[in-house]
Amino acid sequence: MTKKLRCLIRAARSFSKDESGVLVIFSLFLFVIMLLVGGLSVDFLRVEDQRTKMQATLDRAILAAADLDEKRPAKEVVEDYFDRAGLKDYLKDVKVYPDITGRSVTAEASFDLDTFFLRLAGVNSLAVSTNGAAREHIEKSEISLVLDISGSMRFDDRMGDLKPAAKNFVEQVLKPDVADLVSISIIPYAGQTNPGRTMFDYLGGIRRDAVVTTNHFPMISPNILNVVTYFDTNADGKMDRSVTINYFPASGATNFISNDLDVFFGQLVTFMGTKVPAVAGKTVIGAQIKTTAYVTKYYAVANNTNGETADTKPSGTPTNSTLSFNDFVYKPILSVPSSCIEIGGDEFTSTGLPGKGSYEQVPHFMNWSIDKPTMDWGWCPEDDTAIMYAQSDIATLQTYGHLDFYPLPAERAGFSGLKCA
């Protein structure tokens, strides 16, 4: 074996046993792994930073869009927020769900973020995505359905279109899942709006010929000779003043009105108040009627519990005044089956109810024969088409007044009310 060969063999044996520099290779592998892990952290931190920014924008946008006071369309509001944040291209979807109690808005946004370090591992991009939903609702809603029932509704079958539209609205709004959260008030109007008898009295409405509104007196036979009306002027429940009216005309006379005192008693009491100021506006306790057959009977007015049946006259000797029927001027008034009040312009300067006071009753009349096929209530809707307040029962709303969404009960079948020509 030559000298060179022996040296080569010794060198090979020495190299195979030499361990110096072995960590260099391991360090290189470790460095690459550390580089990937560090790069992974950097890229994921970038993803999270962008996601947080986009999520914050999305949250603000949908909250603003769901705000019930916001006038702009909800989708437009969300798009505007993303546009101002420089993220408009990342907005993928916006959905708006309005309902009777509020509004819900959902949105999604996403994009692919290019990586710096993960591309060394073959990952060129990471997905950044966000989504969210916002809702604002009113716990309980009150809806007013205002219906035009005036004479102009006779044209083009408008009344025929109004009824099914109103019925459909009620059905759509009062769904079972919100029945306890939503109520509907129906407000029909012609020349006026009828607030109803209860509200009429609450606001201080003054009915025409309204001192007596029930049946207190029977039909007198043969005729009325005189009437003594008893008043309580100091609110102690006792009669302390009286007014006697003599010279009642017999039936057939020029100024004869009726032998049923109920027909004109209200105007008669007003007449007494103009002639005897002490009884004006005071409580009527009752009235004593003497007939031409000289039969005298007393009938209670205040606290009357037995209708036109005669009562026992309270004891006492009130101060009396005497008047003549010949000075009384009766103004015939048609029956007024409505409760509209005459509200002055100054009442419209605030959003609240009219103040309690004294309001004249709006006349009820129907003068246009051409409107007969459409309406029968005149300038002021009748009491059965007065405002219906805060109702949440579908059946009650659909059978309301003359709207007759369903057929009228048999006892009302002859009273046509609101109908299609």
- Residues whose CB falls within 8 Å of the CB of residue 244, separated by 6 or more in sequence, listed in order: 226, 227, 228, 320, 321, 322, 323
Instruction: Confirm whether 67 is domain-assigned.
Output: yes
Both 152 and 229 in one domain: the answer is no
Instruction: Confirm whether 333 is domain-assigned.
Output: no
Q: 122-126, 130-134, 213-217, 326-330: lowest mean pLDDT where?
A: 213-217
Q: What is the pLDDT of residue 10?
A: 67
Rounded to an integer, what distance in angstroms lies between the CA atom of residue 277 and that of residue 188? 41
Q: Is pLDDT larger for residue 391 or for residue 206?
A: 391
Give residue-wise pLDDT tens across range 66-106. 998 899 999 999 999 999 999 999 999 999 998 777 899 99
Q: What is the pLDDT of residue 301?
A: 93
Instruction: Confirm whether 6 is domain-assigned.
Output: no
Give residue-wise pLDDT tens across range 390-411. 888 888 887 775 454 333 333 3
Both 323 and 239 in one domain: the answer is yes
- Residues whose CB falls within 8 Å of the CB of residue 223, separated by 6 or more in sequence, listed in order: 248, 249, 250, 251, 259, 291, 292
The distance between the two most distant Cα atoms of the chain, rounded to a whole number of Å, is: 174
Average pLDDT rounded to a whole number, residues 310-337 = 87
Rounded to an integer, what distance in angstroms lies between the CA atom of residue 363 and that of residue 17? 124
Q: What are the C-alpha distances in Å from 263 to residues 138, 259, 293, 308?
A: 51, 8, 21, 13
Q: What is the pLDDT of residue 224?
A: 96
Q: Is pLDDT larger for residue 156 or for residue 209?
A: 156
Average pLDDT rounded to a whole number, residues 338-361 = 79
Both 197 and 227 in one domain: the answer is no
- Of 120, 138, 156, the residue at which a domain comes to its end is 138
Give residue-wise pLDDT tens across range 243-300. 999 999 999 898 999 999 988 998 999 999 999 999 999 999 999 999 999 999 999 9
The tokens 């005669």 sit on which residue?
A: 310
For residue 50, give the amino acid letter. Answer: Q
- Of 306, 327, 348, the residue at which a domain comes to its end is 327
pLDDT over 70 percentage in the chain:
80
Strand order of the β-sheet with 241-246 is 296-300, 283-291, 224-232, 241-246, 319-324
Both 215 and 305 in one domain: the answer is yes
Band (pLDDT 50/70/90 cuts) for residue 369 is low
The tokens 């970038």 sit on which residue?
A: 46
Q: What is the pLDDT of residue 353?
A: 75
Which stretches of 212-334 are assigned E, i.e. beta strand? 224-232, 241-246, 283-291, 296-300, 319-324
Average pLDDT rounded to a whole number, residues 123-138 = 90
Band (pLDDT 50/70/90 cuts) for residue 368 is low
Q: What is the pLDDT of residue 359?
A: 82
The segment with the largest mean pLDDT, out of 245-249, 339-343, 414-418, is 245-249
Q: What is the pLDDT of residue 407?
A: 33
Band (pLDDT 50/70/90 cuts) for residue 228 is very high
Which range marks the domain in which residue 247 is found? 209-327
Q: Is the predicted pLDDT of residue 377 greater than 70, yes or no?
A: no
Q: 201-205, 314-318, 332-336, 391-395: lowest mean pLDDT where?
A: 332-336
Tell me how long the chain is: 421
The tokens 């109908």 sit on which residue?
A: 419
Helices (H), 67-157: 74-84
Both 284 and 262 in one domain: the answer is yes
Instruction: Confirm whether 398 is domain-assigned.
Output: yes
Instruction: Confirm whether 24 is domain-assigned.
Output: no
**Helix (H) or strand (E) run with residue 414 in it:** none
Q: What is the pLDDT of residue 405?
A: 37
Rounded to an integer, what distance in angstroms lies between the CA atom of residue 380 and that of residue 371? 14
* CA angle (212 as vertex; 206, 216 as ends), nearest 5: 170
Give residue-wise pLDDT tens across range 135-194. 998 878 888 999 988 878 878 888 888 888 888 888 888 877 777 788 899 998 888 889
- Alpha-carbon Rg of the chain, whole angstroms? 44
Among candidate residues 104, 144, 107, the one with its CA nearest the CA of residue 129:
107
Q: Is pLDDT larger for residue 364 or for residue 416?
A: 364
Instruction: Please count the structural domains in the chain.
Output: 3
Band (pLDDT 50/70/90 cuts) for residue 417 is very low
Average per-residue pLDDT in the chain? 82
* Residue 373 contacts residue 419 (beta carbons within 8 Å): yes
Supply the angle between the helices 74-84 and 22-66 in degrees, to the nearest 10.
Answer: 140
Instruction: Confirm whether 155 is domain-assigned.
Output: yes
Instruction: Confirm whether 16 is domain-assigned.
Output: no
In 3-state terms, what secondary structure has residue 162?
A: helix
